[in-house]
Structure 1
């Protein structure tokens, strides 16, 4: 489950709770499209805004409606004790793996992050994916910490935050990281605009935001890269530059992808927990044009 396309869907909700019917539709679309794995309760899934009970419910729904597709469940939380409780809930729900980011209000040290992963990995009976997302956690892994964490029990993948822009630099970056990791630990690229470059450089997985809403588009890029057709993977990604530009302009993908789901009628508006809001006004109109031009709304 730590190779190929891992698709990360929204957790549609408003102030009254989770829209379970919409969430189930999103999960079933991904299963029907044939993604390699589904990642729920990642950043796109707004895990940090949900209660433990809500997160347990999301995990159960995802596993129930994913068919044969393995489900990875996010277990990030501020306190280690809460992480362990969420890990137990995810395993009870039947998750095939878990995803853990070093979430904190106070800036963490490398030793504190290592101890977090050590505690979680020793408590698990399913594989763990390390989630390096400095844009939201404000913690940056260094190469030494990658190596230390990767040797813990049950760690099977590291979700890295993009790669250098040029193919040569990306390949050198992945090869350097690969030399620090055990052979059973995969590298997965995130930051969708970097996905084709990362896959072409040797990443085994793409942990994808757009895969959660446009799985066939993301699968086409993934399968081209897996087949060794670097040119086609790059071409398909470059075609999506208008979408990548919107992600950059909005400081990330969440507000954009939520508005896209609303525009397609897959989720109701609003679909984010306050104070978060999807794109509106001129930005939303621009997104609608982009979706139509790229035929992502069809």
Structure 2
């Protein structure tokens, strides 16, 4: 199975919500076009940053169509997570009809899932897919943590093309060992992608194939610089560029990456000031001011 879509930088844009509660289609299309023009390797529509869990299935189908239409040929990976397998399958069908190059699935649930239930979810979904699938391990959101055994089981399912891991250890040797271990247990065609932007550079340097990035969905330039440096074997340069963005990573840790990146998009004039789906609220007052200050200090406000 070929997996070129699941390498390099995958940028995850917001799905801005207008004042009337509907998708702000103009702002969303603008974000997608910005990513395509920047030269990202793929676009991750309707990820956690894209607020998929707060949207109806018709809204998600519309967002998938908009993303593919405005991506200018850049592959689009569409999030299909939902509480019921029935709705995951419907979202997958809509994504495929929209022209998605792949889908992204986290084991979302209200009741805690068992390992067998998570495997069954991926087994059911991959049996109905005609495009590749990214396994999304996001324990902070789903409250479910994959074991290596489960990675190996799911990785052998048809259509599984990549695993999006929550990060790598901070110690470089431990990071190398972790990625090497994943290589051992996953089929050769399944790529390993890192998320958690503060450890993105470390993941690429340790041998991850892809970086699934929140920041790149609004600020593709600096994240592309890190990615291309790591891909070229210039680890020191990649680490230096990542360290430069540490004030942004610290804001992510303090307020959550979604709220911070929504404030970044608003500060840059890419979205309205309050574009998150209720009950989520955008940063305001001093908190928003901190974001604006970091953008100015890092010269990211242009």
The answer, yes or no, to whether TM exceeds 0.5 is yes
Name the SS for the 2:145 alignment partner: coil
1:263 corresponds, among 249, 260, 267, to 267
1:68 corresponds, among 70, 73, 79, to 73
Name the SS for the 1:123 alignment partner: coil
Residue of structure 1 in register with 2:149 after alignment: 144
Normalising by structure 2, report the TM-score. 0.97
How much has 1:135 moved relative to structure 2?
0.8
2:209 corresponds, among 187, 195, 204, to 204
The C-alpha deviation readout for 1:48-84, integer Å capped at 9, x for no partner, is: 0000000000000000010110000000000001101
The C-alpha deviation readout for 1:224-280, integer Å capped at 9, x for no partner, is: 000000000000000011001111111x20000001101111001210011101111
CA RMSD of aligned residues (A): 0.6
Consecutive aligned runs of 4 or more in structure 1 exceeding 2 Å deviation:
none
Distance 1:61 1:173 in 2: 37
1:272 corresponds, among 276, 281, 284, to 276
How much has 1:16 moved relative to structure 2?
2.4
1:77 corresponds, among 65, 78, 82, to 82
The C-alpha deviation readout for 1:177-215, integer Å capped at 9, x for no partner, is: 110000000000000000000000000000000110011
Distance 1:16 1:36 in 2: 31
Residue of structure 2 in register with 1:191 after alignment: 196
Q: How does 1:28-67 map to 2 (within 5 A)?
A: 28-67=33-72
Distance 1:68 1:229 in 2: 29
Distance 2:88 2:211 in 1: 24
Q: Which runs of 5+ in 1 are unaligned?
A: none
Normalising by structure 1, report the TM-score. 0.99
Residue of structure 1 in register with 2:183 after alignment: 178
